[in-house]
């Protein structure tokens, strides 16, 4: 809300964290973000160490383009990349379990996140909280949702998780179509470290973007239950039903992946059969070639059928 001609303030009726105020208090993070389009706070009030009021220089709410949103989030995260922490898949998967235990969906999903997927300091932006200041767009940073504060841990999330959170909000709030999501993604992608958008980092069989879509929908489900938002709840339940089909496809891929070990086992058998002279050299070589074909073919098919992230 507009406080006066000089300031605007975000008021949290249920304070969830101090992530927004810490952008001002942490000098390293503050200095890194000053060159970005993030509207940094200049004051506020804490309750029990959490943001209750956050004060910013005044600005007028405005409508951003998908290009601007993607580029802005990408530039913010790129500045935070040097402060990243190692892959934390155990706690990321626990985060999913905590939500599932509370919400009791008919889905369970865990992911062996790629090693290049790392946690970064949280900066969350929302398409409804973009302001114009002196002719330039700026994004107001927001804290985590109430449901996340109640049900989840405080570990850092990877950059793709916050991108997917933004994707979810532009679809919900602005009705973005697939071509607009592609524009959003491409503008984000060209700003963040290349490793974050590598094939393995975005691979669905390794979690990628889809595991964080699942996480975001679980959070939306929790929020809709908390606030009694039936249309939003029904929408999230419809999406969760589609997860079962995606998981069935991933199950088929795991079967194909097992062909790699069948091939490797075949090559080992061929080697020992040759050593023990139970097979001729020609037959052993043929068996080894067959094993290598099975192994390589299964691996190629496994990755070829990996559902695309976008």
Share of the chain above pLDDT 70, in %: 86
Is residue 89 within 8 A of residue 113, CB to CB? The reply is yes
3-state SS, residue 199: helix
Q: From 202, 160, 200, select the one nearest 184 (Cα to Cα).
A: 160
Query: What's the CA dihedral at 254, 89, 75, 129 to 10 degrees?
Result: 100
Which band of pLDDT confidence, cut at 50, 70 and 90, is reported for residue 258?
A: low
Report residue 112: phi and psi, to 5°.
Answer: -90, 75
Residue in 110, 205, 123 with CA at minimum distance from that of residue 161: 123
Check pLDDT > 90 for residue 4.
Answer: no
* 12 vs 262: which has the higher pLDDT: 12
Q: Are 126 and 20 in contact (CB under 8 A)?
A: no
Length in residues, the chain: 310
Reported pTM: 0.85
Q: What is the per-residue pLDDT across 92-136, written as a single tens digit (0 to 9) for each?
A: 999 999 999 999 998 888 988 999 999 999 999 999 999 999 899
Mean pLDDT, range 174-199, rounded to an integer: 96
Q: Report residue 87: phi and psi, to 5°.
A: -45, 130
pLDDT band at 2 (very low <50, low <70, confident <90, very high): low
**Pairing between β-strand 7-11 and β-strand 50-57 as defined by DSSP bridges:** antiparallel
DSSP state of 48: T
Cα angle 82, 88, 90 (rounded to 5 degrees) comes to: 180
To which H or E segment does residue 181 belong?
A: helix 178-189
Residue 249 tokens read as: 């496809």
Residues 133-147: tens digit of each pLDDT: 989 999 999 999 999
Q: Is the pLDDT of residue 262 over 70?
A: no
Burial class (CB in 10 A: 0-12, 13-18, 19+), 279: middle
Segments making up each domain of the chain, as ranges = 63-228, 251-304
> How far is Cα 7 from Cα 308, in angstroms, rounded to an integer?
44
With tokens 């927001």, the residue in question is 142
Phi, psi of 120 (to 5 degrees): -135, 160
Distance CA 123, CA 29 (A): 11
Using CA atoms, how far apart are residues 47 and 88, in angstroms rounded to an integer?
29
Distance of alpha carbon 173 from alpha carbon 169, whole angstroms: 6
Q: How far apart are CA 111 and CA 94, in angstroms?
A: 11
- Nearest CA to 167 out of 154, 186, 153 is that of 186
């Amino acid at each position: 809300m507009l406080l006066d001609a000089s300031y605007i303030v975000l008021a949290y009726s249920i304070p969830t964290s101090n992530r927004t105020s810490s952008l001002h208090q942490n000098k390293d993070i503050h200095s890194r973000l000053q060159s970005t389009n993030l509207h940094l706070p200049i004051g506020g009030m804490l309750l029990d160490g959490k943001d209750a009021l956050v004060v910013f220089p005044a600005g007028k709410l405005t409508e951003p383009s998908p290009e601007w949103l993607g580029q802005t989030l990408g530039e913010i995260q790129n500045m935070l990349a040097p402060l990243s922490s190692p892959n934390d898949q155990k706690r990321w998967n626990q985060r999913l379990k905590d939500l599932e235990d509370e919400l009791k969906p008919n889905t369970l999903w865990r992911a062996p996140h790629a090693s290049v997927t790392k946690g970064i300091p949280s900066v969350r932006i929302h398409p409804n909280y973009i302001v114009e200041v002196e002719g330039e767009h700026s994004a107001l940073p927001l804290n985590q949702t109430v449901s996340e504060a109640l049900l989840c841990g405080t570990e850092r999330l990877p950059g793709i998780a916050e991108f997917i959170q933004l994707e979810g909000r532009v679809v919900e709030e602005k009705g973005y179509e697939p071509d607009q999501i592609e524009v959003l993604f491409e503008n984000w992608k060209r700003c963040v470290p290349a490793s974050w958008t590598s094939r393995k980092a975005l691979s669905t069989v390794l979690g990628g973007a889809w595991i964080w879509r699942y996480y975001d929908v679980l959070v939306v489900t929790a929020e809709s239950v908390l606030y009694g938002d039936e249309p939003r709840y029904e929408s999230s339940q419809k999406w969760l039903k589609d997860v079962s089909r995606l998981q069935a496809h991933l199950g088929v891929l795991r079967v194909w992946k097992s062909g790699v070990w069948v091939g490797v086992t075949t090559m080992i058998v061929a080697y020992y059969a040759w050593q023990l002279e139970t097979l001729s050299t020609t037959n052993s070589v043929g068996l080894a070639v067959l094993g290598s074909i099975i192994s390589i073919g299964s691996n190629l098919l496994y990755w070829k059928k990996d559902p695309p992230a976008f």
